[in-house]
Structure 1
Amino acid sequence: MDRPRRRVTALLASLPLLAACSATPEDTDPAPAPAESSQSESPSAEPASPTDEPTEAPTEEPTEEAAPPPNPISLAALADADLAGGDLRLGPVRERTSTYTSYDVTFRSTTAGAGTTPLRISGVLNVPTGRGPQGGQGWPAVVLAHGYIDPAYYVRGQGMTRERGFLAQRGFVALHVDYRNHAESTDDPRVETAVRLGYAADVAAAVHALRDSANVRVDPDRIALFGRSMGGGVMLKALAAEPGLFAAGVGWASVSSLEAENFDQFQRPDAPLAELKAGFRGRHGLPGEDPGFWRGVSPRPVFDEITEPVLLVHGRFDDTCPPPWARATQRALTAAGVDSTLEWYDDGHAFGPAFVAAMDRTVRFLRARMPA
C-alpha cells in the first residue's frame, strides 16, 4: 500500500519548470459586474410595503489566477505526471546458483497523461532461492539504477552486476533496470533533450512492475532504490518526484544533485561551446544562460519532498564525481529534514578494495529500513 505522497511545491512552480501532462490553464476574466439600474419615480408608483426586506446586489467571489503549468522538462512536471508500470515478464535464465536465479526480464514504463506511449524496458532480475520470508510476506526488493555507459555499447544488466548478486545472496530480489534507449529497451528520442529525466520514470515503473507481478513474490512496502554514479542522481530525482513510492534510497559515488555541475563536469569539456549551444538551441539554454531551467531539473531544490531515508556512499579518492559533491548533497538533505547518512571509504569511483565493506554497510541500512 503506497504511503501518502506529496507533490512538488511552489519552490519549483516558480521556476520555468515535464508538463505535457497538463494543458495550459486558460485565464478567466472576472464576470462583469451587473449594471446599476435606475428607476424613475412617478407619483403613480406604489410605495414599497413596510414588510419588504431590502435586497442586496449579488457579490462576486474573487477569481484566483491559476498557477502556470511547470516546464515540460522539469522535476515538477515529472512529479505531476502519472508514472506507472507493470507487465513484468521473465525471459531466459541467465544464471542459476545455490542462492539465487537470474533472469532476463522486460516490463512496461508508462508516463500517463504526458502524451507518450508505454515503453518496454529491459533488465535483469535476481530472485533468491527458497520460499521467502516466513509469515506470507514477500521478499524485500531493490531496484538498481546503473551509472552512465554509452547506450551504443551498453549490454543488458551492465554496470551493477556485483551489487545485484550480492543483494540476492542476502535475501533481496534485485531488479537491474536498463533504462529507455539501452539494451533491449524501447528508444525514446527525447531522452537527451529532457536531460534523462525519463530514467527516473523507468525506475519508478520498476516498482509498480514488481508489485503487480504474479511470478515474483515481493513485499510491496519493502522496495528500495539503489543507484550508482549517474544512477545516484536518478535515485534522488525519483525519490523527490515520487515520495512514498520507495522504502529507502542508496546512492554510491553519486553525481551532483545540481545538474549544472554535472553539465560542467561531463559535457562541457567534451565539445566546443558553439556545438553545445547548437545542440540546445530551441530547447533550453546552457547553465549560464538559463539557470532556472537547470535548477528545475535538479533534485536538490526539492529535497524537502523526499520522505524516505537516504544512504550516500562515496570514495575519498573519487576523481569522477568529486567528494565535495557528496558533502554538499548531504548538507542539503539534512537541511531539508531528510534522514540521511554519508559514509566514506578509502576507494575510488568504481569501488574496488572497499566494495565488500561498503556493500555490507548498504545491506545493514536496507535491513534496518525494511525489517522483515
Structure 2
Amino acid sequence: MNFFEELKWRGLINDITSPEVEDVINNQKVTFYIGTDPTADSLHIGHYSSLLMAKRLEQHGHHPIMLVGGATGFIGDPKATGERNMLTPEVLKHNFDCLHEQISKLWGFEMVNNLDWTKDMTVIDFLRDFGKFFNVNYMLNKETVKKRLDSGISYTEFSYMILQSLDFLTLYQTKNCVMQIGGQDQWGNITSGLELIRKKCGADVKCYGLTMPLITKADGTKFGKSESGTVWLDPAKTSPYELYQFLFNTEDAKVIEYLKKLTFLSVEEITKLEESLKNEPHKRLAQKALAQEVVRDLHGQEELDSALKITDALFRGNLQNLEAKERLSAVKNMDKIECNADLNLVDFLIQTKIASSKREAREWINGNSISVNGEKIKDVNYIVSLDKAYIENYILIKRGKKNNYCVILK
C-alpha cells in the first residue's frame, strides 16, 4: 500500500477537500499546518493522534508548522455544549509558553503564534479586509455553528471561523503553506480558510485540507480537557506510570484502533498483535505494546522502565524496591481511604472497613493474609503509625493476592 493508503488503514483520514490531496500526500513535498489553542498548559492524549499525523507527514518529506493560537485562545472555538469560559491574558500567556516548550521538546516542529498577525489589527480592518468575504448564511450552515443555534451562540465565538481562516491565509502568503490538517470537528474552519484564500488570492490557487477522526473512548466520548479523567502528555500532570496503566487497561474493542493511530508500529506488527488479541486475549500483548510504545515515544526508555518497575512491584508486592518518586507515582492513582494513625492493626482494618469485624481481622492477620507496604504482618498488636508510612502519609495494605488499599493517615 502507498503512504496515503496506510494513513487510511490506520483510520487517520476522515475528509479531504479534493481528490488531489492523495497525490499531494503521496508524491509532493508541501508545507502544512496544524493548530491548537492554549486553553490548558499541556496537550492531552486526544491531541496525540493529530501530532503523530504531523510527524508521519514530516517523515514522508512534508514540512509541518505548529500553530499555537495566542489570538484564537482569547475567543474559543465553539463547542456543541455551550460557550467557553474566557481565559485571562496571564493564563493564556502561561499556557502558550508551556505548550511551546512541550511541543518543541517532543516534536521540534516549526512554531507560530497567530497573535503576531492579529494583535495590531483594528476592528475596521478585520471587518473590511476579511469579514466582507464571509456570508452569514454560509457560516450558519457549518456543523458546529448549527448545533448551537437552538441554545444560542455569541458573536465572539461565531467569529472564530474568520480568525482561523485568516491563519490559513497568512501562512499561505508568508510561508507557502498549502494544507491544513485537523480533527473532524475542524472541517468547517478548514474549508472556510480555503474559501478565503481563493477569494483573496485567486480561484486557481492550489490549497488543501484534511481532517482526521477524533479519537474516542469505548463509550464514544472524546478525550478532551473538559472531560473527566484527562490524560495529559505532561509527565508532571499524568505520570508515565499512570499513562502506562491507562493504556494497558484499554478495552479489547479499542486497542487495535489505538495501536494504529498512536504508534509507529508497522502494518505487519499491528496485524500480528490483532491476531494475538483474537486468539489469546488473556495475554494482553496488544495492550502491552500500546502502553510501551506510547510511553517510550513520549517520555523515553528510562521512564518506561520506571513504569514497568512500578507495575511489577505492585503486582508482586516488592514495594520496598521503589524509589521515592516511583512510590508517589504508585499511590497517585489508587483509590484512597482516610484513617487515624497510631491504631493497632486490628482496629485499623476495622476503621478502614477492610475487615468487617475484629474476629475477621485477627483471622486474616494470623493467617498471613495481611501485608503492610509489601511486608507480611502477623502481629495483631502491630501499630500503624506515620513513621511506618510508605511515602509521605500514605500506607499500603494488601489482603490476599488481589485486594490492595491505599490509606491516608491522619
TM range (shorter): under 0.3
Q: Which has the higher strand share?
A: 1
TM-score (norm: length of structure 2): 0.23
Q: Which has the higher helix share?
A: 2
Higher RCO (Cα < 8 Å, 6 or more apart):
1
